[in-house]
Chain A
Amino acid sequence: MIGLTLAFHFDGSVTIAKTSTQEFAPNAFIRIGTDNVVRLWAIRSEMGQGVRTLLPMVLADEMEADWEKVVITQARMEPRFKGIRLRTSGSGSAVGTWTPLRKAAATAREMLISAAANQWQVKSETCRAQQSTVIHVPTGRKFTYGQLAAAASTLPVPAKPRLKNANEFHLVGKPVKRLDGKSIVTGSAVYGLDVKLPGMLYATVVRCPYLGGKLISCDPAPALKVVGVKSIVPVHTGFSGGVAVIATNTWAAIKGRNALQPVWDKGPNASFDSDQFMRELEQSLSKPGFPVRRVGDAPTALAESPRKLEAIYEYPYQAHAPLETMNCTASVQAGSCEIWVPTQAPEAAQQEAAKLLGVPADSIQINVTMLGGGFGRRLQVDYVLEAVEISKAIGKPVQVMWTRDDDMKHGFFQAPKIEHIQVGLDAQGKPVAWLHKSCGPDLSVLGLPTEQDRKNPNFYSDDGMPWGLFDNPYNFPHQTGDFVPVQSPVPTGPWRAVMYPSTVFARESFLDEIAHTSKLDPIQLRLQLLAPGDVLDLKVQKVDRARLIAVLRLVAAKSKWPVPPREEAGRLWGDGIACNVYSDDCYLAQVAEVSVSKELADIRVHRIISVVDCGLALNPLGIEGQTESAIAWGLSAALGGKINFKNAQGQEHSYADFKVLRIDQAPHVETYLLQGSDTPGGFGETAVPTVAPAIANAIFAATGKRMRRLPMTPEKLQNA
């Protein structure tokens, strides 16, 4: 029986190819066999944000599949998914797939209904699809999707399938649990490090500990003496290159690596000190930088203001440190390669691996495993190329694992920033001129735009960067925003919420400084600055001030704002507010409730109340989870560790010295949802940027001490 396979392209076009299977395969994401199993493919990487459940759920709802019985498979880099984005970044998964997945699913639904209607010789309008069956409503006759699969695959493709109305959803908008829950709690979920191949060897890599340094020599003998070690090969890929130790088991690979004593050329950055670098960033404030935002004439308005305020905020290098370290399993054969990897960037991995091997991209197949956290680190393909290079060198499949120490030292870290804000206040203390300059490495690996890009003064503003500064939502009569990119020898890259954390930390903290100086309530000040609740049109983004006003009003109500600072049981208590618009589709306001001991010896965040408007919440359970998750992330950076380099060497080893939030410090999180639009906003990162300023503002309310340099520690508080 000949069937039809439809390839559904994200530009909307549909092509038809003949297959010889009885399976109904309306597009790359859906397969229904005559066994009545509905198979759905997840086209984004699962790193905890729930897309492996969420995206198939959108398919299942629209196509009326029985959710309890669907089988989910992770999409691979293979010809079937060519032209379909798999890259998982920018909180863009739900936003980018919402309409295309629904169209694909609605197409399948209508074809199945037509197949049933044809069999019964009735009108399609008299049939209804539900729970993987089609029912003829007047008579109650039923066919399962499995029974219809062969017939459906012979039918013409509807050009404009009907999409369900919002009131027809039975999964979308409801709290749906993660499908991977069972495999996670039984230990059967497969992450990158869990992959096992026949004949696979294990490898670790010793990488240059000096930023920008190089290997001079490495005597392999000490490693080869370790039982289980098979060979040593040089590695030229990855950020720094190094030497790989290949062994029959992981422990031998680690021991062999520890036995090596490579000789390094320390390179041109041998005295690099990250604390010193922050001071250099402050000096870079004197440079003009790239203009990002211009409203009115802020310099003149500032000069003419009766009162001026300014402050400098500091955001250091930060690590991702996901629980699963970097790893990749690669099997290179003649002319082809198969890879198993926890990655957010399968396309980049395929392209770069193909370049490295000198083969066509299609001959590289990539299996995306579960990710033990991504947070932007797994957008880099350094650790993929290492495995490909090593497998090619040894002629065998190999699993390259990074130790925690490797991970702490060889990341692509969150870029550090110095944020400088000046404000001119009028006689009533209202801000009339706002000047914000951000200084630090940009989103590229070494922090600077190319020679060519540097010539374009709009290089950053054309893309709405830096976030949080470009899209400052407040209505200042005069405003400038500028960005000074600075080169960093420390490789940097996207980290959860990317450019927002530093700019929003400065912006939302400084608003409170203005409120305090002018004796205005911080929420009232923000509401005044968002009047008249219009849409701020920045061309590449449109910020709806009314939605930000709405979340601010609700968070005020939920937190019973204002709660006066007080002293209770030897501790000083205060509340702090911060709000932000994330990529113009999510609006969020948070209040943090903090206490500090009277001796300023410890800082405790008790509660964080978040009001979230992410448009249509596809899964409220997921939105709450991501709020809790992003708060933990932001809290770790606000109060925990940072990444330090001294003499060009990374200083942190593990979670012992890179402090992250643990359960005993975790605040109680309350999440309230507003819906300001009918389409979903991207929410994986949204709740991060407001955490640090809300806490800083609460600490100020409690103690009268302003913390401007992260992380906020008792030591800094005592010296403030």
Chain B
Amino acid sequence: MPEYSLQINGKLRTVTAEPDTPLLWILRDELNLTGTKYGCGVGVCGACTVHENGNAVRACQIAVYAAANKNYITIEGLSAAGGHPCQAAWIEEDVAQCGFCQPGMIMEAAALLHQYPKLSEAEIDQVMSQHVCRCGTYQRIRKAIHHAANLTPKKAAK
């Protein structure tokens, strides 16, 4: 099996894996980063969302051979101790029920807020509707995103 060097949460990690192994399973099985979840494996639920060079992507759809030379951040690397505005907002608004979808939701929201500090409802809908929450926490997710937007330092839109 070939070796791959990956940038994960600011560290260089080396793994041995078959080239077509999805990044999701590299994270979970090889690197013990189990915060990124398996929900469907076919890119329709959002549970495996990570940041690739700052963009929200589905780790189940990225083969490890294609993951070199990109910076990946997982939920574990989003902040040092849960202090990212999205994480703080999620706790403040008591969003989670079973919680399984929430790392993916938070990663998506974090990337969204970074790019669009002033969000419209339509943008929230369009982006977050890529995710499934079977517990139906959508109303609180919406509140938390607005809350996090207020906590996020304003920066000029890209």
Q: Answer whether residue A186 sits at the interface, using C-beta atoms and an 8 A cutoff.
A: yes
Q: Which residues in B have their C-beta under 8 angstroms from that of A254?
A: 41
Chain B's nearest CB lies how many Å from the CB of A474? 29
Q: Answer whether residue A339 sits at the interface, using C-beta atoms and an 8 A cutoff.
A: no
Cα distance A324–B90 in the bound complex, in angstroms: 20
Given contacts A184-B96, A187-B36, A187-B74, contact A373 B134 (CB under 8 A): yes
Interface centre among B18, B133, B135 (most CB of A within 10 A): B135
B29 and A185 within 8 A (CB)? no
Chain B's nearest CB lies how many Å from the CB of A312? 29
Q: Which residues in A have their C-beta under 8 angstroms from that of B134?
A: 321-323, 373, 375, 632-633, 660
Q: Answer whether residue A182 sits at the interface, using C-beta atoms and an 8 A cutoff.
A: yes
Q: Which of B27-50 contact A (CB under 8 A)?
A: 28-30, 32-42, 44-45, 47
Q: Answer whether residue B132 sits at the interface, using C-beta atoms and an 8 A cutoff.
A: yes
Q: Which residues in B have their C-beta under 8 angstroms from that of A188?
A: 35, 76
Q: Which of B57-112 contact A (CB under 8 A)?
A: 74-76, 78-79, 81-82, 86-87, 90-91, 94-103, 106
Q: Binary interface profile of A, 224-241, with partner B (CB < 8 Å = 1, else 0)?
A: 000110000000000000
Q: Answer whether residue B131 sits at the interface, using C-beta atoms and an 8 A cutoff.
A: yes
Q: Which residues in B have their C-beta under 8 angstroms from that of A190?
A: 34
A404 and B35 within 8 A (CB)? no
What number of A-B contacts does a CB cutoff of 8 Å give? 196
B34 and A621 within 8 A (CB)? no
Q: Which of A178-201 contact B (CB under 8 A)?
A: 178, 180-182, 184-191, 193-194, 196
Q: Which of A157-191 contact B (CB under 8 A)?
A: 175, 177-178, 180-182, 184-191
Chain A's nearest CB lies how many Å from the CB of B144? 10
Given contacts A249-B25, A654-B42, contact A662 B129 (CB under 8 A): yes
Q: Which residue of B lies closest to A403 (CB)?
A: B41
Q: Answer whether residue A629 sits at the interface, using C-beta atoms and an 8 A cutoff.
A: yes
Interface centre among B29, B44, B81, B124 (most CB of A within 10 A): B29
B29 and A621 within 8 A (CB)? no
Q: Binary interface profile of A, 321-351, with partner B (CB < 8 Å = 1, else 0)?
A: 1111100000000000000000000000000
Q: Which residues in B have their C-beta under 8 angstroms from that of A610?
A: none
Q: Which residues in B have their C-beta under 8 angstroms from that of A202?
A: 29
Cα distance A656–B43 in the bound complex, in angstroms: 9
Q: Which of A430-467 contact B (CB under 8 A)?
A: none
Given contacts A228-B18, A250-B25, A663-B129, contact A180 B139 (CB under 8 A): no
B136 and A185 within 8 A (CB)? no
Q: Which of B123-158 contact A (CB under 8 A)?
A: 124-126, 128-129, 131-142
Contact of A191 among B32, B97, B100, B136 (CB under 8 A): B100
A187 and B136 within 8 A (CB)? no
Contact of A660 among B81, B90, B132, B140 (CB under 8 A): B132
Q: Answer whether residue A125 sits at the interface, using C-beta atoms and an 8 A cutoff.
A: no
A249 and B36 within 8 A (CB)? no
B96 and A663 within 8 A (CB)? no
B residues contacting A by CB (< 8 A) are: 1, 17-18, 20-22, 25, 28-30, 32-42, 44-45, 47, 74-76, 78-79, 81-82, 86-87, 90-91, 94-103, 106, 124-126, 128-129, 131-142
With A251-B25, A629-B136, A663-B129 given, name 10 new contacts (CB 8 A): A187-B74, A188-B76, A190-B34, A228-B18, A322-B100, A323-B47, A628-B138, A628-B140, A632-B135, A666-B138
A-B contact list, 24 entries, CB within 8 Å: A47-B98, A49-B97, A50-B97, A182-B82, A185-B87, A186-B78, A249-B17, A249-B25, A251-B17, A254-B41, A323-B134, A324-B37, A324-B100, A372-B100, A404-B39, A625-B140, A628-B137, A632-B133, A632-B135, A656-B42, A661-B136, A663-B141, A666-B136, A669-B139
